[in-house]
Structure 1
Amino acid sequence: MKPSLIAEVVEHYHQLLMDEHLESTLEVLARRLGRGQLVFDGRSVCEVLRPRFIEAQVHEDAWYASRQVMKGLASLYRHAARDGALRRTLGLMAEEDALVRIDAMGRVPCVVSRLDGLLGEDGQLKFIEHNTTPGGIVFTDSLSAAFQEMPIIRVIANRYAMAGPSARAGLSHALRELRGLPGKNGSRSLTVIGLTGGEGGSELKNQSEARMLLKQVAEQGVRVTTARLDEEWSLRDGTLWREGVSVELILFASRAAAESLLREHGSDHPIVKAVQGGAAFVLNGMFRSALLYSKQLFAALSDPAFSYLFDADTATAFRRYIPWTRIVREGRTPYEGRTVDLLPFVAEHRERFVLKPGRGYGGDGVVLGWKCTSEQWARALQHFLEERPGVVQERVHVPTEAYPVLQEGRPVFEEHYGDLNPYVWGDSHAEGYCVRVARNPLLNMSAGEGQMVPLFVVDRR
């Protein structure tokens, strides 16, 4: 039986690495990583010795799926902005619901988000989460550039058609869109809050990447400054001022920083008043980010009870690209053509499911049913029902791939799980990927084992 294209490419890459390209590969990685910029939470973002390869068909399908899912999320946002009952069903907390009055009804400039996906054993892509403050944008392109310097990649590119999707191209697209916003000043400036940590009691783990990203933004003609919420802010004559400098575009560097605005400073803060009055914009929107950050929204994409929110084409796309997901609560629901009593069914079939808190990132609070005992699963299910609102999501069976890692000076091959996470710019333009690999199914960088690899799309010549 003829091997698949990806298996063929990977086998060829591994053979080249073992035969003649190990030293040059290590040299390029050491030089690139040694600059101290490709670091997350104090550790290198990449320690494996090859990229991930996907076929062109998978790449095109991911782009199509991204557009369809983001179209559905936009519809969900519009409905939720007008429907308080829907917001409560989706688990928005009181302080998040209050954001509706700030910027839900005005124009929201959307810059970037990320759809986190898994390629199943059957080759089907499933999106399992949506990230409104995604990391990895600069790391992705930096790793891609590093690997493209390697002689081994040039040999692969001579045999196969190969391309590395660029997230930076998406950034350029989003910034062009921002220039179309109504503004008082001819040029755009961006004020970033929470970059240095501290806002909301948090530390930003990817500060090095955030600074590199803002440098790229500045290189494209946007003046970038950093700020804190406890500085001197004022709203005078329809203009927002910080320390005597006018502010029109605001970016919160993390969810914690955004949440601290109302929680710690209240609705009388000049930023809130300015956004309400249209004197300033928060990139990605305050209410929009809060709503689309919730994992409970994936229940709305999956559950037929919410089908009235979407057109027929979008609902069809959800059935293909979104795994079965439900809010953890009592009741009956469809599952594979029959109706089940949700809680007893999930309790009995833990190996099929994942429990996820409605809020949280980095794998915090995620429970993998096939990795725990029946007793642990029952306790987790009760916890989600009574104390921590969340969702139960059907497991995506992800095959592992062998990746070379260096041990005692020699490459050894270890099985890794991987994901496929397209960035979406300006709400509909997919460009670039974040790809993570790990030895266990929890792929998040914050979970401790996840690391990033570049992605190349390959095809036969």
Structure 2
Amino acid sequence: MLEEAIAHYHELLDAETAEASQICLTDGLRERNLFFGNRPLATVLRPRFVTAEQYDLLRSACGLAATAMRRLAAAMLIDPSIQADLQLTAGEQALIAMDPGYEEPSAHSRMDTFLTLDGSSLRFVEYNAESPAAIAYEDELADIFLHLPVMQRFGERYVAAKLPARHQLLQTLLDAWQAFGNTRAPLIAIVDWKGLPTHSEFLLFQQYFHERGLEAIICSPDELEWSAGQLYARLADRRVPVDLVYKRVLTSEFLTHYGDHALEHPLVQAYASGKTCVVNSFRAKLLHKKSIFALLTDDRFQHLFTPEQQAAITKHVPWTRLVRPGSTTYEGATIDLLSWVSANQERLLLKPNDEYGGKGILIGWETDAATWAQGLKDALHSPSVVQERVEIAYEEYPSVIDGQLQIGRRLVDSDPFLFGSEVTGCLTRLSTVTLLNVTAGGGSSIPMFVLRKREAEVK
């Protein structure tokens, strides 16, 4: 059905409809401030379409992997020796040892995946367990796309159901707050560095919280202070008591920025005291490292998982290992890791263990042998993982360039949002290059819709 639906959508984009739809998209992005820094979030005229069966596959597979990872997190808290395979820093270990006041190690997260157009292949590439962006962006984009003239015409034949997620993020924050034993409404602080390109999303969340009767502020870690058992934010015109921190700042950046004084920071003091609810908690780091996939695919830990979880891991999680000397297993055989990685670059990637935005990734099949050898050598001195290549998804997408409609092939990833272990909503990103990440400086974000034919069209 999808190929037929997409072909019909593109046929509807005559010159007049394409121009009107582009104007509608541009105006909508500007009115809602949907920009990543200075770049518009969406640059194409079609959203991502999936069938109900494909969305169910995303929900089931991601849910099984997420529950497996939570079993790993529980095991690591009981047996810290397992944490060695994550290559945690001393600061991260100290923060993980603190009780966040609620059980869920990653209250909200995102699984980055490739789902092919026909649904025959769903492969994961990484898990953003700490501070996933784009929930508010995707909700707003869905509303804009529904009003495009081409979508209005498309709707005469197909029903496109959007996948909102902001409500679930808010409920997740409130669930954590209530786990603290609180019943009153919290004052929420959205905390990250000043001047980030994602500030526009913080404003969207602030507005959304306000519309639901909750006071919310946006501040940086530098504006927090801890006094007499209360966390405060020092704003330009006032000093505000903070109850609940919606933590968007990454732990690695926080620790690097404050160095030896990080564990004395007001945010950490408030967190350690049990007086301030922080979501996600610092324990999300147990699942956020790229090496979490190495634990999932390692034979040593399969006894922790149910048969259903093991099957989902085998089918959807790519073979991953920390880069280090020694032997390991690949498809049941024992290999010397470094020599095997050196000889099999065409099927492998090297990734920093704790980076984002595509930073530091070396793609074996797009790299010459000398660069790969140097990358492998460098990976031994900075925590890194090697990961097996997965099948990449591609689709045709229309865009208006210099006033002309062009339909071009794009890489497409499908990145479901998880709340606990349940999927609600999905980010979709497009790119013309293998390194698919809007943060890295290119590409487009679009909403996902679950598609079905209208009853009158079903024969």
Q: Tell me which of 417, 420, 424 is aligned to 1:423.
A: 417
Pick closer, same or farther for the CA change 1:285–1:175 going to 2, 3 Å. Answer: closer
RMSD: 2.4
Is residue 109–residue 281 contact of structure 1 (8 Å, CA) maintained in 2?
A: no
| Deviation at residue 82 of structure 1 after TM alignment | 2.9
For 1:146, the equivalent position in structure 2 comes to: 144
Q: Tell me which of 123, 128, 149 is aligned to 1:126.
A: 123
Mapped pair 1:294 → 2:289: yes
Size of the aligned set, in residue pairs, is 447
For 2:348, the equivalent position in structure 1 comes to: 353
Pick closer, same or farther for the CA change 1:7–1:83 going to 2, 3 Å. Answer: same
For 1:137, the equivalent position in structure 2 comes to: 135
Q: Tell me which of 347, 367, 389 is aligned to 2:362.
A: 367
Pick closer, same or farther for the CA change 1:235–1:29 going to 2, 3 Å. Answer: same
Mapped pair 1:444 → 2:440: no
Mapped pair 1:405 → 2:399: yes
Is residue 102–residue 179 contact of structure 2 (8 Å, CA) maintained in 1?
A: no
* Counterpart-to-counterpart distance in 1, 2:354 and 2:294: 14
For 1:194, the equivalent position in structure 2 comes to: 192
Is residue 106–residue 284 contact of structure 2 (8 Å, CA) maintained in 1?
A: no
Is residue 108–residue 283 contact of structure 1 (8 Å, CA) maintained in 2?
A: no
Question: SS state of the match for residue 264, structure 2?
Answer: coil
| Deviation at residue 419 of structure 1 after TM alignment | 0.1
Is residue 204–residue 254 contact of structure 1 (8 Å, CA) maintained in 2?
A: no
For 1:166, the equivalent position in structure 2 comes to: 164
Of the structure 1 ranges 409-418 and 173-182, higher mean CA displacement relative to structure 2 is found in: 173-182
| Deviation at residue 73 of structure 1 after TM alignment | 1.9
The runs of 5 or more residues in structure 2 that have no matched partner are: none
Of the structure 1 ranges 214-223 and 51-60, higher mean CA displacement relative to structure 2 is found in: 214-223
Q: Deviations over 1:365-420 (max 9, x none)?
A: 001111011111111111112x1211111111214222112222111122110100
- The one-letter code sitting in structure 1 at the alignment partner of 2:133 is G
Q: Tell me which of 160, 163, 175 is aligned to 1:177.
A: 175
* Counterpart-to-counterpart distance in 2, 1:73 and 1:213: 28
The 5-angstrom pairing of residues 10-409 of structure 1 reads 10-18=6-14, 21-35=17-31, 37-103=33-99, 107=103, 110-120=106-116, 123-131=120-128, 132-178=130-176, 180-183=178-181, 186-195=184-193, 197=194, 203-231=195-223, 233-236=225-228, 238-242=229-233, 245-255=240-250, 258-259=254-255, 263=259, 265-286=261-282, 288-385=283-380, 387-409=381-403
| Deviation at residue 242 of structure 1 after TM alignment | 4.8
Pick closer, same or farther for the CA change 1:61–1:319 going to 2, 3 Å. Answer: same
* Counterpart-to-counterpart distance in 2, 1:325 and 1:435: 24
Mapped pair 1:456 → 2:455: no
Q: TM-score, normalised by structure 2?
A: 0.90
- The one-letter code sitting in structure 1 at the alignment partner of 2:248 is A
| Deviation at residue 245 of structure 1 after TM alignment | 4.2
| Deviation at residue 120 of structure 1 after TM alignment | 4.7
Is residue 142–residue 447 contact of structure 2 (8 Å, CA) maintained in 1?
A: yes
Pick closer, same or farther for the CA change 1:104–1:332 going to 2, 3 Å. Answer: farther
Q: TM-score, normalised by structure 1?
A: 0.90
| Deviation at residue 276 of structure 1 after TM alignment | 2.1
Question: SS state of the match for residue 334, structure 1?
Answer: strand
Question: SS state of the match for residue 180, structure 1?
Answer: helix
Is residue 85–residue 295 contact of structure 2 (8 Å, CA) maintained in 1?
A: no
* Counterpart-to-counterpart distance in 2, 1:43 and 1:363: 18
Is residue 95–residue 262 contact of structure 1 (8 Å, CA) maintained in 2?
A: no
Of the structure 1 ranges 133-142 and 332-341, higher mean CA displacement relative to structure 2 is found in: 332-341
Pick closer, same or farther for the CA change 1:443–1:246 going to 2, 3 Å. Answer: same
Pick closer, same or farther for the CA change 1:230–1:15 going to 2, 3 Å. Answer: closer
Question: SS state of the match for residue 156, structure 2?
Answer: helix
* Counterpart-to-counterpart distance in 1, 2:120 and 2:286: 30
Is residue 170–residue 429 contact of structure 1 (8 Å, CA) maintained in 2?
A: no
